[in-house]
Structure 1
Amino acid sequence: MLYWDSINPKNVLDVFNAPQLTVSGISREIGTMKLQALMVKWMNSFLRFYSVNGSMDAIQVADTINLVLEIYPYYTQYDFKLFFKMAKMGKFGEIYGRMDGEVIINWLKKYDAHRATVAQSESMKYADKFKERYPAEETEGVTYPEYLAIKHRASMGDKEAIKQFTPP
């Protein structure tokens, strides 16, 4: 819990730049039961934040954790810490007096979509760096229907079309 309390990701990029030991990796290292116990502590800390009519009992928490581990085995502790922070800040919607597994799973879907969007954006930025180093050659191109028309004209003896098929 000391490590959990010490981490404070502010955005998804912080998650991507953090140590990448996934929950499935943690499970292999310390065992599934110990991971589930850790996640119960993380989840209970999150649930205490809310003042709702009915709180989740131990079985609901355990079921939710098992579903989360099954759906998101690639998440790290940083993902969960950021997710809980964003949820507390209302980034995924209001709760209207109810906090249960369904709400958490739906919020995680929204977090996952946000995470995927950021990952895609970062991947495109990274790819764009290579475009600057290796600019595309400027070539004239034709569409496939244009190619077929040129090919037909060349087969009919059109000298200009034959020239277009001749390699430089």
Structure 2
Amino acid sequence: MKRYSVAAVQRELRKTQTAIACATSCTPVLATMRKMYGERWTAAYIALWIVNVQDFFNVSGKMNDAQVEETAYMILDDFWALNVADIHLVFSRAKKGYYGQLYGRIDGSLIYDWFRSYFEERCDACENRTIRQSENARSDNPVTDDRATEFIQKLIQNKRIDHEAR
């Protein structure tokens, strides 16, 4: 599990920036970790991430050990389908201000909201991906990511040509 220490994951997954990338990352899922290592160990793993983010922000209103533990269990209970890459992305985004400013405090409710918001985004992204894959499978002329990128580049190029012509 040394491979999944907070620092190791941060280094390895720093370029993983989307919910789809996390979903396809092959990192361990919280439910699997709970089954393999136990609930207490998995909650402690999540707690390490919470402590890491608190240290990063260096805010005066920090959570005590009991609050960190309770928040970790709440995340484990409600977001068990997320994996290590997802946890990394949530906390990485929080550090970058994606979920808003902290205003000198960090608490369990705030962290839980980060996960709730991200989980909704991830579910929507995976659902849309599945729908697109299903539509492409039925199509005689499927739209692949490469074809979509090529189409968008052509549109941009045509727009430039039109703009330069004016």
TM (normalized to structure 2)? 0.74
Q: Structure 1, residues 112-158: CA drift from partner, whole Å, max 9, x if none?
A: 12112211221121012123139xxxxxxxxxxxxxxxxxxxxxxxx
Query: Counterpart of 2:56 in 1: which secondary structure?
Result: coil
- Greater share of helix: 2
Instruction: List alignment gaps of at least 5 residues for structure 1.
Output: 135-168
Q: Runs ≥4 in structure 1, deviation > 4 angstroms?
A: none
Please name the residue that 2:4 is paired with.
Answer: 3
Distance 2:124 2:98 in 1: 15
Instruction: List alignment gaps of at least 5 residues for structure 2.
Output: 142-166
Please name the residue that 1:36 is paired with.
Answer: 43
Q: Structure 1, residues 6-56: CA drift from partner, whole Å, max 9, x if none?
A: 431222122121115321111111112221222222221121111222111
Please name the residue that 2:31 is paired with.
Answer: 24
Distance 1:107 1:40 in 2: 15
Among residues 119, 123, 129, which one is paired with 2:136 in the alignment?
129
Distance 1:46 1:14 in 2: 22
Query: Counterpart of 1:91 in 2: which secondary structure?
Result: coil
Distance 2:121 2:96 in 1: 15
On the 8 A contact 2:46/2:72 being kept in 1, the answer is yes
Among residues 69, 77, 82, which one is paired with 1:75 in the alignment?
82
Distance 1:12 1:121 in 2: 12
Please name the residue that 1:100 is paired with.
Answer: 107
Distance 2:32 2:19 in 1: 20
Question: Between Structure 1 and Structure 2, how many residues are aligned?
Answer: 135
Letter paired with 2:38: G
**Percent identity between the aligned chains?**
21
